[in-house]
Structure 1
């Protein structure tokens, strides 16, 4: 079985890493839309269009399932992609919510993400259906921190505290990392707030795939495509998943709509 994964940039590599570990025999095709990153500050209509283009490209490889490894795209484009694709389409929001509901003991959950993800209320709507109190916070500086490799140390910790002290003061016991870049800051967050149960969407997706009992066997093919040169992408790819070569594609190969 082959899996397609797309994200606007490097964040989805955390999802790739977990699936690579858990399903070594599956064929995995990853698309990082580095020419148009980030999606988090774009309109709903634009995010949906980019998501359809990414999905259509990955479908040319005969994928059996599609993972939207981007919280913004999951929030805006999931239902549209499920309408037009004839394969299972999995976003990061539903698995993250399921995990948070298992973790929380006091029913107070924090959600952090891009401006677009928080504005969409995608996590909030699902969590509140279960009677959970939700406290949200956009953290727009986290993505550039990760892109620049500043994931620990004084600068990272100061910015983390600037965003998260307010949520912790509200009494949350569980924090959803609502952006696939954010797991790279997880150790620093845990150091500052050791009592928090942290939901990493990349791990939540692999748990979800296990429960779905998909037949994830294949030849172990690994392909990673990007739409523009990116030093930070290559650096984090090497750090997270090793020496799988990058293949650059022209943006015109995606822009079919």
Structure 2
């Protein structure tokens, strides 16, 4: 039997009471792996570069195997960018190539850059106008209930790409689930971790890492999902937040580093 194990942590009290978000993590594991997964998550909450959490929420739920959806891992590429300006220009270009209008792509950049604090989830934006379509405010839409079907194989794929960083390992899983959702055209993201400036654009074709999407030591980050204007938002949010998904790593998707 498989279990969903989730952790979110904050400093200054619970998120709902105004606490500053520190870190979050989740896994889908068998019963024997629960204790080890929980221990790793607790250590992460106490040792994160954003601070030492004083609030940690853990949640463990059994998953019905018949409810699991299996999807393909996105191929990984890295686009060339040596400044934040060139990185954001590359992001806009990739979003446009994904089917997002230039106005919507620029709006997505502007809305993420203008956040007063990091979002807990993602904003849903129209792929044509860039207008926000969800009503989740700062909480955003939280993509949840996801992991890889074969962790050793997935680690091998990342190792062959020279990508062992935790940020990439987790983000590719999340981006793969998001791109499997009906109505989603592309995703734009950069981290709220202080020293991690690499962000990404994801679309149906792959996951595109972009160095320098934010300035070093900036504490704010977030995600924007660009969706078709006629998308059923209720159905989309239910899939992203509730449907258990396992990503199948495939060596053949490979990685394409430092190419546009």
TM-score norm. by structure 1 comes to 0.28
Greater helix fraction, Structure 1 or Structure 2? 1
TM-score norm. by structure 2 comes to 0.28
Greater strand fraction, Structure 1 or Structure 2? 2
